[in-house]
Structure 1
Amino acid sequence: MLLAIDAGNTNVVFALLDGREIKTRWRIATDPRRTADEYVVWLNQLLQLEGYAIADVDAVIVATVVPRALHNLQVLAEKYFKTTALVAGQAPVDWGIELDVAEPGSVGADRVVNAIAAHHLYQDDLIVIDFGTATTFDVVDYSGAYKGGVIAPGINLSLDALVAAAAKLPKIAIEPPENRSVIGRTTVDAMQIGVFWGYVAMMEGLVARIRAEIGRPAKVISTGGLAVLFNDNSDIFDAIAPDLTILGLALLHERSLKT
């Protein structure tokens, strides 16, 4: 079985797959100081709870945007799973798609992996929106080529910055306001409108501008933890693909077996 690891700025997601089928998944806060020994104690218990064992894992693939986290994940694979971890974007794992951008080496592995999976699922011009620490908008053309995109502060990051910089503003939950009015009658109402509907307006505006620049219809695919929340409050999304990054890693692993 394949252990796919997506190490983001906030969380590391571990998914156990049989082929492309996700059997189970777990997440833990990203900490580059966490050692392979700490990872395996945590993973071993979770595997057993799901009826699996360390010996069931015979391959590991990692995508990370946190370079300092990579070494300990590679040690985890070698020491405890007795395999060399494949690393998305590094030999012998070829992306298999064109990175049609000015600086291909600077594109985050998660963004490319999302593009691979999105093209596999939807063979159209695509805008892939991933809600993470940052919210990314990635453009994939009908041939599967990655064309670039947008990186915006994630909504949690935006809210944290607002609360930290303004002493009298309270911490609020990220949720739709009770009604669709955009005139807040209290401080909390005004914040919820600014954070939530302001973010929706940003997404809708960027999608409109990207579609106009592409010059062709483009499907919008969303992924990440807040995808469902925004999908319920905007009509820009054509599909939600919560496991897009994990699917992309599974596809990369399959490709590596053929090389």
Structure 2
Amino acid sequence: MLMAIDVGNTNMVFGLLEGETLVGSFRLMTDTNRTSDEIGLTVCEYFRRFNWTTDQVCDIIIASVVPQVMYTLTSAIVKYFGKKPIIVDDDVSPGIEYDSESHLGADRSVSCVAAMEKYGKPLVVLDFGTATTVDALSDTGRYLGGCILAGIRVSTDALFQQAAMLPQIELVCPDSVLGLNTIAQIQAGSVMGYIGAMEYLIRQTKREMGYGQDVKVVATGGLARLIADNTDMIDVVDGQLILDGLRIIYERYKREQKE
């Protein structure tokens, strides 16, 4: 099995893959105060629950946007799995071509690699995480640019924290933009407003790409389904995109080592 780890700002996602099949996955909060033993013992407990052993893991590959946890995470892997992990950008390049000297974060480049492999090109890739990102890829696979905005949960949390009379809300899309109480009105403004913003960004991205409006749009991330279910501008929701991208990059890396 290959263990693929996506270290995000909010969660670390561990995926276990046999070939192209995801046979198991779990999440840990991304906590810079967690020790290597806490990580290692938690992962081992997951293995025991499903009658797996750490010896079944052939390799481990990581994409991370949180440098502060990497020493602890790497130490846990070495201590409990006896392996040095392969780290995207440090040990292996995702292989994205750029029109400038700009450089994507590991999670975004890995998502782009997987999206092109699975859905073709040209492409718009959305990632709804702590931040929401939009990335554009040409018909030859070159990175054309993108944008970053605060994630919907970050936005609503900021509203709750900065406005004394406004409550925290559940992120659901209401039936009407005209809410009849405070919660419904915040949901309408936050969720439906966010959908409107994403539709504008998608339309403008396609316009600037120059391929017309028939470019496929692929979304991933924890809140991708909420947005995609309420717009017709997202073609595919793929919650496994980063884990598949890590697998694809790992397989290419192993082939290159043999050549």
3-state secondary structure, aligned to 1:34: coil
RMSD: 1.2
1:211 match: 206
Partner of 1:183: 178
> Who is 2:15 aligned against?
15
**Are positions 1:163 and 2:195 aligned together?**
no
- Map of 1:19-34 to 2, 5 A cutoff? 19-34=19-34
User: Residue 98 of structure 2: SS of its match in structure 1?
Assistant: coil
Runs of 4+ off more than 3 Å: none
- Seq. identity, %: 40
Contact 1:4 1:249 in 2 (8 A): yes
Residue 190 of structure 2 corresponds to: 195
* Alignment check: 8 A CA contact 2:40 2:77 kept: no
CA distance in 2, matches of 1:199, 1:5: 29
Distance in 2, matches of 1:13 and 1:62, equals 10
CA drift at 1:76: 2.1
Task: Measure the CA separation in 1 of the matches of 2:48 and 2:144.
Answer: 42
Q: Which residue of 1 aligns with 2:251?
A: 254
**Which residue is equivalent to 2:118?**
121
Q: Give the alignment of 1:1-259 within 5 angstroms.
A: 1-91=1-91, 93-104=92-103, 107-177=104-174, 179=175, 181-216=176-211, 217-259=214-256
Distance in 2, Cα, partners of 1:80 & 1:142: 43
Q: Is the 8 Å Cα contact of residues 115 and 218 (structure 2) preserved in structure 1?
A: yes
In structure 1, how many angstroms separate the alpha carbons of the residues matched to 2:27 and 2:156?
A: 23
Distance in 1 (alpha carbons) for counterparts of 2:98 and 2:20: 24
Q: 1:258 is paired with a residue of what secondary structure?
A: helix
Shift of 1:41: 0.8
Preserved CA contact (<8 Å) 1:65 1:108 = yes
List gaps (5 residues or longer) in structure 1: none
Please state whether the residue corresponding to 2:133 is helix, strand or coil: strand
Q: Does the aligned pair in 2 maintain the 1:3–1:59 contact within 8 Å?
A: yes
Residues 176-225 of structure 1: CA deviation (Å, up to 9, x unaligned): 11x2x322222222111100110000000100111111111311101111
Are 1:101 and 1:148, in contact at CA under 8 Å, matched by a contact in 2? no
CA contact (8 A) 1:129 1:136 kept: yes
Letter of the 2:156 counterpart: L
Q: Distance in 2 between matches of 1:34 and 1:142?
A: 43
Q: Deviations over 1:76-122 (max 9, x none)?
A: 2222212211001123x122231334322xx2100000000000011
**Equivalenced residues, count:** 254
Amino acid corresponding to residue 45 of structure 2 in structure 1: Q
Structure 2-normalised TM-score? 0.94
- When the two structures are superposed, what TM-score results if normalisation uses the length of structure 1? 0.94
| Deviation at residue 48 of structure 1 after TM alignment | 1.3
- In the aligned structure 1, how far is the partner of 2:21 from the partner of 2:201? 33
> Distance in 2 between the 1:143 and 1:100 partners?
12
